[in-house]
């Protein structure tokens, strides 16, 4: 038997345990956001092949919660974790990104001559841009285009 005293480095620190838990939560959140980006991109890709992409995106946005309620119980626990926080984070991120795609698509139908501007915004969303910022920028872009068109026609 040893009479040695445990040194601080030999005793697990609760702060270290908290860090590990926080890192795991951050990794799960990052994974959820990456999965949401993929799902939203796929949905957008399907929508733009339809006759009315903006309307289909609206329908998708309106049904995310309902569809998510159906698929969440089917997620493997290994994937979703022991609670549903992962799935809820992913659902919210999918909905947020789909709404951003829908807003951009609606705006692009209004300014056909400037479709390229909205294509740039869509590409930014596809590359992971913050959907809230893109949604906030769309009305400003539309207003600038209208002002520019009004000045160009005078």
Q: Count of domains in the chain?
A: 1
Task: Please state, in angstroms and rounded to a whole number, the distance separating the CA atoms of residues 40 and 96.
Answer: 9
* pLDDT reading at 97 higher than 90: yes
- pLDDT tens per residue, range 122-143: 999 999 999 999 999 999 998 8
CA dihedral 20, 22, 27, 29 (to 10 degrees): 160
pLDDT over 70 for what percent of the chain? 75
Whether 19 has a pLDDT exceeding 70, the answer reads: no
CA distance 17 to 48: 47
Between these two residues, 55 and 7, which has the higher pLDDT value? 55
| Domain encompassing residue 56 | 14-152
The span from the CA of 124 to the CA of 147, in Å, is 24
Tell whether 2 is covered by a domain. no
Q: Is residue 5 part of a domain?
A: no
Q: What is the pLDDT of residue 124?
A: 94
Domain-embedded: residue 7:
no
The pTM of this model reads: 0.73
Tell me: the pLDDT tens digits for 6-18?
333 443 444 444 4
For residue 130, what are its two tokens? 């913050």
Q: How confident is the model at residue 23 (pLDDT cuts 50, 70, 90)?
A: low
């Amino acid at each position: 038997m040893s009479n040695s005293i445990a040194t601080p480095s030999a005793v697990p620190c609760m702060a270290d345990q908290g860090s590990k838990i926080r890192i795991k939560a951050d990794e799960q959140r990052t994974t959820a956001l990456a999965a949401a980006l993929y799902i939203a991109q796929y949905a957008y890709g399907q929508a733009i092949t339809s006759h009315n992409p903006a309307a289909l995106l609206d329908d998708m946005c309106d049904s995310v919660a309902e569809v998510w309620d159906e698929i969440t119980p089917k997620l493997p626990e290994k994937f979703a974790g022991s609670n549903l926080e992962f799935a809820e984070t992913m659902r919210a991120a999918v909905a947020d990104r789909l709404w951003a795609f829908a807003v951009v698509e609606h705006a692009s139908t209004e300014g056909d001559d400037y479709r390229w501007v909205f294509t740039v915004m869509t590409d930014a969303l596809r590359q992971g841009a913050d959907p809230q910022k893109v949604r906030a920028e769309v009305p400003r872009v539309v207003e600038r285009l209208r002002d520019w068109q009004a000045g160009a026609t005078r």
